[in-house]
Copies of this chain bind each other. A is one copy, B any other.
Amino acid sequence: MTIYRGPQAFPRTEYLGRLAAVKKEMSQRDLDALVVTSASDITYLTGYTALSGYVPQGLVVLIAEEEPTFVLRRMDAPAAIYETFLDRIKIIGYPEALIGNPDTDGYDTIIDFLLESGLGNRGIGVEVSTLFFQTTEKFKRRLPKARIVDCTHAVAWIRLVKSDREIEIMREAAAISDAAILRAAEVIRPGVREADAIAEILGTLARGANGKPGTMIQQIGLCSSPRTGTCHIPWSEDVFRDGSQINLELGGVRYGYCAGIMRTFSIGAPSDRLRRIHDAEVAGLGAALETIRPG
């Protein structure tokens, strides 16, 4: 079955604008290539959201080429064709024999591409903080004449500045988060099992809001009495009880943009202590919102 490009969340011009900002940064650092391996950065620069980053993959931005080249596992190349704005000749699928191979892996394919592009003796940026020890060593060993520069967070700083279309999508994600919190308020009741409440909340995160479905599920944290003081813990099979305090953390997702939100619920009247914490947090948030400004 031939795979065609699917619907895109952003127009091609938006991706080219993001790449122009990246290339400007590369010029300032005197780099001819940047190997992007952070999954979030790859999503930002191409639109790719498939969950294939548990095996080696990388987006190679060349200063001399309009579109970057995406090197990934061959079985994931169709998803890259479907999801990204890239021309399919810019998508290189490496063979399955490189998976689980102790000697050669997908990073070798990326290094081969850099060598074939004649960049073996140029400045090459890598995101060291997303790479394992052996991979950084491999880049240095196989590109001995190149100047390998740590560009950790370089793309992350660029993507901090959001376009109007990005903000629109983030608002869609936030509407999903709001809908999930409202659903939580309906289903968190004495006698309801935590797992059953989570099932309803997950349903809302997938169905979405205003006709826009969620595009992924981020892990949900739910801590209710007697473990309200714990963090990042999964729900349990306990039932909610009168007097329970419940902390809920979730995030609606649209095209890789997640709008995180935390809410505390109280079954019955909250304690004075909880009420004071609530007032302090609202005051703190208000003070923060008054202080922040564009730029």
> A169 to nearest B CB, angstroms?
14
Known: A51-B221, A136-B133. A229 touches B78 (CB 8 A): yes
For A82, give its contact among B1, B82, B233 (CB under 8 Å): B233
Q: Which of chain B's residues have a CB closer than 8 A to the CB of A248?
A: none
For A131, give its contact among B4, B132, B195, B236 (CB under 8 Å): B132
Q: Which of chain B's residues have a CB closer than 8 A to the CB of A216?
A: 219, 234
| A193-218 Cβ-contact flags toward B at 8 Å (1 or 0) | 11110111011111110001111110
Closest to A256 in B: B234
Q: Are B230 and A79 in contact (CB under 8 A)?
A: yes
For A49, give its contact among B128, B196, B234 (CB under 8 Å): B234
Answer whether residue A75 sits at the interface, using C-beta atoms and an 8 A cutoff.
yes
Q: Which of chain B's residues have a CB closer than 8 A to the CB of A51?
A: 219, 221, 232, 234
Q: Are B230 and A50 in contact (CB under 8 A)?
A: yes
Give Cα distance in the complex from A269 to B129, angstroms.
49
For A207, give its contact among B130, B196, B206 (CB under 8 Å): B196
For A78, give its contact among B50, B198, B227 (CB under 8 Å): B227
Question: How many residues belonging to A are interface residues under a CB distance threshold of 8 Å?
Answer: 57
Q: Are B195 and A226 in contact (CB under 8 A)?
A: no
Answer whether residue A243 sits at the interface, using C-beta atoms and an 8 A cutoff.
no
Per the 8 Å Cβ criterion, residues 72-91 of A in contact with B are 75-76, 78-79, 82-83
Answer whether residue A40 sits at the interface, using C-beta atoms and an 8 A cutoff.
no
Q: Are B198 and A1 in contact (CB under 8 A)?
A: no
Q: Which of chain B's residues have a CB closer than 8 A to the CB of A133?
A: 128-129, 131-133, 136
> A121 to nearest B CB, angstroms?
23
> A183 to nearest B CB, angstroms?
11
Residue in A1, A204, A205 whose Cβ sees the most chain B Cβ within 10 Å: A1
| A166-199 Cβ-contact flags toward B at 8 Å (1 or 0) | 0000000000000000000000000001111011
> A47 to nearest B CB, angstroms?
12
Closest to A135 in B: B133
Answer whether residue A3 sits at the interface, using C-beta atoms and an 8 A cutoff.
yes
Known: A132-B131, A208-B195. A217 touches B202 (CB 8 A): yes
Answer whether residue A27 sits at the interface, using C-beta atoms and an 8 A cutoff.
no
Answer whether residue A231 sits at the interface, using C-beta atoms and an 8 A cutoff.
yes
Closest to A221 in B: B51
Task: Give the top 5 A-B pairs by smallest Cβ distance, nearest first.
Answer: A195-B213, A199-B203, A199-B206, A79-B230, A202-B202
A-B contact pairs, 20 of them (CB 8 A): A1-B228, A1-B229, A3-B226, A3-B230, A50-B230, A50-B232, A52-B232, A78-B227, A82-B230, A82-B233, A128-B133, A129-B134, A133-B133, A194-B213, A199-B206, A199-B207, A202-B203, A202-B205, A203-B203, A215-B235
